[in-house]
Amino acid sequence: MRKCLFKMNNKQLLKKIEFIKEEQNKNWKNLIYGKGDLYQSYDELNIKGKRNTKKRIKQYELKKYLHESFDILDIGCNCGFIDLQISNLVFSVEGVEINPYLVKIGNKVKEHLNIKNVNFHNKSFEDFKGDGVYDVIFSFASDEVADGLSNLSYEDYIKKIVSLLNREKYLFYES
């Protein structure tokens, strides 16, 4: 586990996350993922989530394919816990997430862990321009998602991915 160099201790971090979650539950109209617990967990920080991030990283065999020179794009990154947990294996990660509360949580955890090579963009994938091409793109449960916030057809979604992907590298896709 990474060293926490921060003023906030784990308990304070959990409290802060709880507060942001409450704000989200009050204000985010399109909430269907993680109404109770968050969608993603972060075991080392004792953050509960409906899906276990560590297990998913193992199941998807991400470590086998990632490289320290790789730039990663994660579409619909949620709290970005997958990104933060693989950040030590790659050069950079860009996470795109439409829900501002989840981005806030991701940034709090990122700060807490003093991670410097991950950036979260609070915007829709439709509006995301990207910075060149990426070696790896994650599309985990993010195509035509049920919250109705995407206005890209499936074909356009894939076309946009293709335009952003280094052809010799990898798309990780979970439908």
Ligand X SMILES: C[S@@+](CC[C@H](N)C(=O)[O-])C[C@H]1O[C@@H](n2cnc3c(N)ncnc32)[C@H](O)[C@@H]1O
Query: Rounded CA gap, 10 and 8, in Å?
Result: 7
Given a contact cutoff of 8 angstroms between Cβ atoms, the answer to whether 71 and 90 are in contact is yes
Nearest to 136 by CA among 175, 96, 94, 174: 94
Residue at shortest CB range from ligand X: 76
- Specify the residue, 42 or 140, whose C-beta has the smaller distance to ligand X: 140
| The binder of ligand X chosen from 86, 142, 157, 165 (CB under 6 A) | 142
Residue 102 in the binding site for ligand X (CB under 6 A): yes
Distance in Å, CB of 9 to ligand X, minimum? 26
Query: Which helix (H) or strand (E) is 166 found in, with range?
Result: strand 165-174
Distance in Å, CB of 30 to ligand X, minimum? 7
- How far is the CA of 66 from the CAs of 19, 47, 95, 134, in angstroms? 34, 25, 16, 12
- Specify the residue, 32 or 162, whose C-beta has the smaller distance to ligand X: 32
Residue 101 in the binding site for ligand X (CB under 6 A): no
Q: Point out which residues bind ligand X (CB under 6 A).
A: 33, 39-40, 76-78, 96-99, 102, 124-126, 140-142, 145, 147, 149-150
